[in-house]
Amino acid sequence: MIDTMRFSSPFLLAVLSTTLLAAQAQTLPQPQNQFKTRAELGLSTKLPLPAPAAAGIVKLSTYEQLMPLVLRMNNILGSYPPKLATAQERAKAFTLWEQALQQAWLIEKQDANSENTLFLLAEVYRQGHNLDVDGTAARAGETVDRCIAAYPDSVRCHFSAAYLYISLNPSTLPKAMKSLERLRLLHAPRFNSEVERGIFFAHLYAGDKEKASKQLDYVESVNPATPWLALARKAVKEGRLERVQ
């Protein structure tokens, strides 16, 4: 089980101070901290990828027990930089993330190739990448690619791929777009705001303001009440590459 830990931020306390069995989705308050990258925190090196724990050290949990916690951790570790304001918060988040990783590895030993396992591992590795854990970006990519190859219509794995490949570097944006376009087809004819936002950011991060603006025109024509639309217009105008909430 994951131990309850104390965090300086009430937001972190609400999300991370939990056990696997008690983890449940809930409405979360917006954090007030100014989140900082590893460099801004004065940390010059990446965190090392943990080694698998010795047999018997980590108690095996099921996918159904672990996945809710991993999804809740996305509220903090799901984007870059992660929603951490101090080196102490980062260290505590890493401790919890490492425990989730060890649990995920045990689940992988039991059921390596299921959609559930591949999605779980892809998300944990992606969170590790956002925490600047060495080697996790490559593992996230390999795992999510395996999931998409085995389950080409997996909505969750395509979302995981889109979030990962948008965040890596310009060379991976085509892979992000491929998953986003597949997601658009899988959701059709329904409008999915998160898919359309991802397409907007893929164009913006590629430096193509014209396509980014056209994407916003499309979103406005289909659903003018989209909450992030006004902020996205401002981001294009000012050339800011920040995430629109």
Burial profile 106-137: b = 16 or more Cβ within 10 angstroms, e = fewer: bbbeeeeebebbbbbbbbbbbbbbbbbbeebb
Does residue 44 surpass a pLDDT of 70? Answer: no
Higher pLDDT, 181 or 32: 181
Tally the residues of the chain: 245
Q: Average the pLDDT over 230-239 and give the result.
A: 84
Q: Is 85 exposed, middle or buried (0-12, 13-18, 19+ CB in 10 A)?
A: buried
Please give the Cα distance from 55 to 4 (Å, whole number): 23
169 with 196, same domain: the answer is no
On whether both 95 and 168 belong to a single domain, the answer is: yes
* 131 and 82 within one domain: yes
Residues 206 and 141 in one domain: no
Query: What total number of domains does the chain contain?
Result: 2
Cα→Cα distances 134→49, 65, 105, Å:
6, 26, 17
Which of 32-36, 58-62, 192-196 shows the highest mean pLDDT? 192-196
Is residue 134 one of the residues assigned to a domain?
Answer: yes
Q: What percent of the chain has pLDDT over 90?
A: 64
- Among the candidates 115, 146, 176, a domain finishes at 176
**Looking at the predicted structure, is the pLDDT value of residue 174 above 50?**
yes
CA distances from 240 to 27, 172, 206 (A): 28, 20, 13
Task: State the pLDDT confidence band at 235, using cuts at 50, 70 and 90.
Answer: confident
* Closest alpha carbon to 96 in 107, 104, 108: 104
Q: Are residues 156 and 206 in the same domain?
A: no
Shared domain check, 70 and 119: yes
* Within a domain: 12: no
Cα(114)–Cα(120) distance, integer angstroms: 10
Question: Which among 136, 152, 176 is the end of a domain?
Answer: 176
pLDDT on residue 116: 98
Domain residues for the domain of 128 are: 59-176
Cα dihedral across residues 145, 104, 14, 134: positive or negative: negative
Domain end, chosen from 176, 206, 223, is at: 176
Lowest-confidence range among 4-13, 27-36, 159-168, 211-220? 4-13
Inform me whether the pLDDT recorded for 29 exceeds 70: no
Q: Tell me the pLDDT band of 85, cut-offs 50, 70 and 90.
A: confident
Residues 167 and 195 occupy one common structural domain: no
Question: What pLDDT band is residue 96 in, cutting at 50, 70 and 90?
Answer: very high
The per-residue pLDDT for 240 is 62
Model confidence over 180-214: pLDDT tens digits? 999 999 999 999 999 999 999 999 999 899 999 99
Within-domain flag for 66 = yes
Same domain, yes or no: 234 and 148: no
- Single-letter amino acid, residue 183: L
- Mean pLDDT throughout 137-147? 98
User: d(Cα 142, Cα 61) in Å, to the nearest integer?
Assistant: 24
- The confidence score (pLDDT) of residue 57 equals 78
Q: Are residues 98 and 172 in the same domain?
A: yes
- Residue 38 in any domain: the answer is no
CA distance 23 to 4: 12
What is the CB-side half-sphere exposure of residue 39 using CA atoms within 13 A? 1
Looking at the fold, whether 66 and 164 belong to one and the same domain comes out as: yes
Asked if residue 136 lies in contact with residue 49, where contact means CB atoms within 8 angstroms, the answer is yes
Distance of CA 131 to the CA centre of its chain: 11
